[in-house]
Structure 1
Amino acid sequence: MNTPPARFDAREASKWFFRHGHTGWLGLRFADQGDNWVELELPWREDLLGDSNRPVLASGPIISLMDMASGMAIWQTSGSFNPVATLDLRVDYQRPARDRASVRGRVECYRRTRSAAFVRGIAHDGDHDDPVAHVAGVFMTIGADLRAENPAFNRNNGND
């Protein structure tokens, strides 16, 4: 008898995701979740500054935070972990984060189609009503390896 896979849970998944790779190095932390949204935290660290004369998190780590929160919101919404690829992630900065402040990224997946997922959210440093940035994105959902299903997708069409 086959047991159905467990429903994706961002809180549980973050225990693994944030121990490894880029997200582990950044020190991302799980903050909260809902049916179609996830909130993560990027702790302030001196080595993540954009300008050595100002103790404010650089934009690159904040973009990484929002990209990961986006993916996790998509998986939270769908209930399963399937690969996604970032097609477009627009980040509109409103202001710099406060000095020595951690930044939280809260992203919701508000629409899914067969092959795409749409997200929106904010990055904030403690006040949802005064965001550091707004984000909007489109992600391609990847259900299967098309190369395995269709020889036309193989690079050499089987002629090695």
Structure 2
Amino acid sequence: MAALLARARQFLAMIPLGQALAFRLDQIGGGRAVISMPWDERLIGDPRTGVIHGGAISALMDTCCGAAAISHPEGPEMTATLDLRIDYMRPAAARQRITATAEVFRMTRSVAFLRATACDEQEGQPVATATAAFTVDFPKEDRT
């Protein structure tokens, strides 16, 4: 588990946008990841309401899916987004942390298929949902 945590932290550190948005790795393992980001006035998409821009939520969900993919028990080393579809359900509440949860629901030799949600602090009411496909690269000696 320590090796996976170190690899996940390295994965996040390689993404400058995630650093700029202050992504925090909350949970990782078994093809599932939870990453959150704080509300930040620099990310406001609607000045009248203080709602975070959808692009920041998109980046959070994309990164969370990638982290979930590399945490899968089959152990892919690298991943990249092939397809990401996000459906925005409602605006995120102003001044609340946004948390994304992503999970691999199918892994093939070359593609991980994932589902994700993003929620603010009003649990049970998603801000957005996503389905994604990520390319995965396995160590040559581990796959047949």
TM-score normalised to structure 2 length? 0.84
Partner of 2:118 in structure 1? 123
> Any conservation in 2 of the 1:107–1:119 contact (CA below 8 Å)?
yes
Q: Distance in 2 between matches of 1:26 and 1:80?
A: 27
> Any conservation in 1 of the 2:83–2:132 contact (CA below 8 Å)?
yes
- Paired amino acid for 2:110: S
What CA RMSD, in Å, does the superposition of the two structures yield over aligned residues?
A: 2.2
Q: Deviations over 1:106-141 (max 9, x none)?
A: 000111001110000110012442100111001112
Of 41, 47, 57, the residue aligned with 1:46 is 41
Q: Distance in 1 between matches of 2:123 and 2:31?
A: 18
Residues 134 and 8 from structure 1, CA distance in 2 versus in 1: closer, same or farther, beyond 3 angstroms?
Answer: farther
- Paired amino acid for 1:12: A
Aligned to 2:50, the other structure's residue is in SS state: strand
Relative to total residues, which structure has the larger strand share, 1 or 2?
2
Higher Rg of the two aligned structures? 1
Structure number with higher relative contact order (C-alpha < 8 Å, ≥ 6 residues apart): 2
- Paired amino acid for 1:44: W
Q: Distance in 2 between matches of 1:65 and 1:24?
A: 11
Aligned to 1:118, the other structure's residue is in SS state: strand
For these two proteins, the number of residue pairs brought into alignment is 138
Q: CA deviation at 1:50?
A: 0.7
> Any conservation in 2 of the 1:7–1:80 contact (CA below 8 Å)?
no
Structure 2: gaps of 5 or more residues = 140-144
Percentage of matched positions with identical amino acids: 32
> Any conservation in 2 of the 1:17–1:23 contact (CA below 8 Å)?
no
